[in-house]
């Protein structure tokens, strides 16, 4: 008989193993899922709608019979797919409420000979857990700096050196500015962003500091959950202070690889903030392949915006770290030494 686990044990036991199966429909899975899960749907989107309609109109028994008609021909294929994901002959299976879908699939897989665990109250319980988890106190350190300071590079270096890091921009698939979508893959839904963020923190040692980049509440179109955002506003800030020229050089290198049309579209997004004249100068420089001037114009705007936001905060706990060069290794080691 499959054993039902509570949410924390289900996530901790299965984390990183790649053997979690979500048997909900593809549409449900796309909206949000347990990070690392694989979708092996019991019903397609259309089939789920049919069974649901029968349940409402004719009752539970009729819906079960229709479900069995649909699932019967799929059973062998489902077992074969699941078998490929099993680690040490073990699988973790869930559906929306931890009911018939996951229960029937777990029974089938155990009949085949696999060890199967299910999730108590299903994905719905995970979502409740994820949303409340952001209110749990976290030991946060914020990495701050003006645009072009290489904060993502520094975060990655901190991680290499053994620090706990959550890359918010990496999870959001957006670098947090008008240019933030350049080079990124399709962003997650808000729901999935929250799910990934929850599990990242679950895998952290709560006794140690966790480094986050000092972000605005919105990263692209993704919203940092309120409980986490409140704690970020109260966290200590390590401010990496680099010269303007050094940051311009970094941005030229970082964005020079993108097509001119994409860069122009990004510049046009901040026309109201740059002003018509500055926008015109910026795009003219871009078309003349003078990316340095383009970056200088944009950076002056972002510097003003950043300083305004930073110094309007209440209870600002900022420690300034000036550097002459953007050397992620040197900067990361200095930040660790002065925690």
165 and 48 co-located in one domain: no
Number of structural domains in the chain: 2
pLDDT in tens, 7-27: 999 999 998 899 999 999 999
At 89, which CATH number?
A: 3.40.250.10
- Biggest CA–CA distance in the chain, Å, is 73
Q: 169 and 90, same structural domain?
A: no
pLDDT tens, position by position, 30-65: 999 999 999 999 999 998 888 888 888 888 888 878
Listed residue (132, 101, 94) closest to 13, CA to CA: 94
The owner of tokens 């950076």 is: 299
Do 54 and 146 belong to one domain? no
Is the pLDDT at 98 greater than 90? The verdict is no
Residues 20 and 112 in one domain: yes
Q: How deeply is 262 buried, as exposed, middle or buried, from its count of CB atoms within 10 A (0-12, 13-18, 19+)?
A: middle
Instruction: State the residue range of the domain holding 108.
Output: 3-131
CA of 71: how far to CAs of 74, 101, 146, 174, in Å? Answer: 5, 10, 56, 39
So which residues are the catalytic ones? 95
Residues 12 and 145 in one domain: no
Reported as a pLDDT band with limits 50, 70 and 90, residue 156 is: very high
Q: Label residues 28-55 b or e (16+ Cβ within 10 Å = b).
A: bbeebbbbbbbebbbbeeebbeebeebb
pLDDT tens string 100-117: 899 999 999 999 999 999
* Domain C-terminal end among 82, 104, 131: 131
- The answer on 123 and 40 residing in a single domain is yes
Q: What is the CATH number of the domain that holds 209?
A: 3.40.50
Residues 297 and 161 in one domain: yes
Final residue before a domain boundary, out of 98, 131, 164: 131
Tell me the average pLDDT across 198-219. Answer: 95
Per-residue confidence band for 246, with pLDDT thresholds at 50, 70 and 90: very high
Whether residues 211 and 186 fall in one domain: yes
Question: What whole-number distance in Å separates Cα of residue 208 and Cα of residue 127?
Answer: 25
- What is the model's pTM? 0.92
Reported as type and span, the H/E element at residue 90 is strand 90-94
Identify whether residues 240 and 178 lie together within a single domain. yes
Among 131, 152, 178, identify where a domain stops: 131
* 52, 148: one domain: no
**Do 183 and 38 share a structural domain?**
no
Same domain, 122 and 179: no
């Amino acid at each position: 008989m499959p054993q039902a686990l509570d949410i924390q044990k289900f996530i901790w036991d299965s984390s990183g193993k790649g053997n979690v199966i979500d048997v909900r429909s593809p549409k449900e899975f796309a909206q949000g899922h347990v990070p690392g899960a694989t979708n092996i749907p019991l019903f397609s989107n259309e089939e789920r709608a049919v069974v649901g309609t029968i349940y409402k109109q004719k009752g539970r028994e009729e819906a079960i019979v229709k479900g069995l008609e649909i699932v019967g021909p799929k059973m062998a294929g489902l077992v074969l797919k699941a078998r490929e994901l099993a680690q040490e002959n073990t699988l973790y299976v869930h559906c929306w409420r931890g009911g018939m879908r996951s229960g029937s699939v777990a029974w089938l897989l155990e009949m085949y000979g696999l060890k199967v665990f299910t999730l108590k109250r299903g994905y719905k319980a995970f979502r409740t857990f994820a949303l409340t988890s952001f209110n749990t106190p976290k030991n946060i350190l914020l990495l701050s700096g003006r645009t072009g300071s290489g904060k993502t590079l520094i975060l990655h270096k901190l991680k290499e050196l053994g620090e706990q890091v959550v890359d918010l921009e990496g999870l959001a698939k957006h670098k947090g500015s008008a240019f933030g979508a350049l080079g990124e893959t399709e962003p997650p839904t808000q729901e999935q962003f929250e799910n990934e963020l929850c599990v990242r923190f679950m895998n952290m040692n709560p006794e140690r500091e966790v480094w986050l980049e000092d972000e605005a509440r919105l990263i692209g179109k993704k919203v940092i959950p309120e409980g986490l955002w409140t704690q970020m506003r109260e966290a200590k800030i390590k401010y990496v202070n680099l010269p303007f020229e050094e940051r311009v050089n970094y941005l030229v290198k970082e964005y020079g690889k993108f097509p001119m049309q994409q860069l122009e579209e990004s510049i046009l997004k901040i026309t109201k903030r740059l002003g018509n004249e500055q926008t015109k100068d910026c795009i003219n420089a871009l078309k003349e392949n003078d990316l340095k001037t383009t970056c200088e114009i944009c950076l002056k705007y972002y510097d003003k915006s950043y300083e305004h936001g930073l110094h309007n905060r209440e209870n600002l706990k900022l420690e300034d770290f000036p550097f002459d060069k953007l050397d992620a290794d040197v900067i990361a080691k200095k930040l660790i030494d002065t925690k």
